[in-house]
Amino acid sequence: MALMFLNGGGMRGGPVHRHIDGVPLVGERRTAPRYRFYSIRDEYPGLYPAERAGADGQPILGELYDVPMGLLRSLLASEPPELELSIVELESAQLSFGMILRDEEQRRGRHADITSYGSWRAYRATLSGPVGA
């Protein structure tokens, strides 16, 4: 089993949650206040360490799951190429696996910074049309 922090489509109600359906939800968690948050084409979010972005970080809301390794493989296969598996620090100083924006993607500067929204759901609620998780 592996603790996995999800902050986009893998959360409850999200389009890729099916990969972990039935996996124990540990609970909602926030990251430590050391991340920036980006929207990639308004399709999915990406965390990025604030110190590498040269900016201040904020806590980002998501969900923490205890995922069996076999299901984790399936979930990771559904992740977009702009993200990579890393270790994410949660508000309680707990460490978890999580997906972060690749360095080269952040350097390109083409992804909207949505850090001020604090969560993917809050950001998606501001978009016109159907709202995804």
pLDDT of residue 129: 57
Where does the pLDDT of residue 1 fall: very low under 50, low under 70, confident under 90, or very high at 90 and above?
Answer: confident
- Name the residue with tokens 């390109």: 108
At 51-105, the pLDDT tens digits run 988 889 999 999 999 999 888 888 898 899 999 999 999 998 999 999 999 999 9
At 5-25, the pLDDT tens digits run 999 999 999 998 998 989 999
At 117-127, the pLDDT tens digits run 999 999 999 99
- How far out from the chain centre does Cα 133 lie? 11
Q: CA–CA separation, 53 vs 37, rounded Å? A: 11
pTM, entire model? 0.91
DSSP string, 4-60: EEE-STTSTTSTTGGGGTTPPEEEEEEB-S-EEEEEETTTEEEEEEHHHHTS--B--
Compute the average pLDDT of residues 99-119. 96
Where does the pLDDT of residue 29 fall: very low under 50, low under 70, confident under 90, or very high at 90 and above?
Answer: very high
Q: Are 15 and 130 in contact (CB under 8 A)?
A: no
User: Could you tell me the fold of the domain covering 2-124?
Assistant: Hypothetical upf0131 protein ytfp (3.10.490)
